Structure 1
Amino acid sequence: MTNSNTFQAEKINQHIVQWLHDYAINAKVKGFVVGISGGIDSALTSTLCAQTGLPTLCIEMPIHQAESHVNRANEHIDQLKKRFPNVFNERADLTPVFENFKNQVPSSENESVLNLSLANTRARLRMTTLYYFAGLNGFLVAGTGNKVEDFGVGFFTKYGDGGVDISPIADLVKSEVRLLATYLQVPESILKAKPTDGLFGDERSDEDQIGANYDELEWAMKQIDQGKTSADFSGREAEVFKIFRRLNRVNQHKMNPIPICKIPDNLK
Structure 2
Amino acid sequence: MLFYRAALPLSRRTLTYPAGVIRRHRKAIGSPWRRLGPGRQALLVLVHLRKGETFAELAAGFGVGTATAWRYVCETVALLARRSPRLEQVLRAAKRTGYAFVILDGTLIPIDRVAADRPHYSGKHQRDGMNIQVIAAPDGTLLWTSGSLPGSVHDLTAARIWGIIRRLEAAGLITLADKGYIGAGQQVLVPYKGRNKPTPQKMANSARAKLRGPGERANAQLKTWRILRKLRCCPLRAGQLVKAISVLQMREAG
Q: TM > 0.5 between the two? A: no
As a proportion of its length, which structure holds more strand? 2
Instruction: Tell which has more relative contact order, 1 or 2 (C-alpha 8 A, sep 6+).
Output: 2
